[in-house]
Amino acid sequence: MEQPAITLSPSAAARVATIAQKQGKPAILRLSVEGGGCSGFQYKFGLAEAPEADDCVAETDGVRLVVDTVSLDLVTGCVVDYVESLGGAAFRVENPMAAAGCGCGSSFSI
């Protein structure tokens, strides 16, 4: 079985479903990568109305994670998780390609 390009964990899917329901939007989380942050690239999350034509789409428990083709080159093999800790709750990207990250967990370098 082929490994999906990106994966949405069950806990992240549940959180997206809750947020989308509260906002009356589809349960679609968009992950994109932008230049900047402490380490060169940073992750950006937001709800999407629908996938774009060239998006990579992963689905977990009826919730979709969409990534544009440019960002996909930087996040292939990633798992998007939702983590609650003493420091707060946040979506976290586990990126096997990241050579370095930062303490806040929202930026990386390759």
Q: How far is CA 64 from CA 4, 12, 28, 49, 110, in A?
A: 13, 10, 5, 11, 26
Straight-line distance from the first to the last Cα atom of the chain, in angstroms, rounded to the nearest whole number: 27
Q: Rounded to whole angstroms, how far apart are CA atoms 19 and 25?
A: 8
Q: What is the pLDDT along the chain (110 residues), one digit of tens a residue?
A: 456 789 999 999 999 999 999 999 999 999 999 888 777 888 999 999 999 999 999 999 999 999 999 999 999 999 999 998 888 888 989 988 777 666 655 555 66
Q: Cβ distance 32 to 108 under 8 Å?
A: no
**pTM (2 decimals)?**
0.86
| Burial of 50 per CB tally in 10 Å (0-12, 13-18, 19+) | exposed
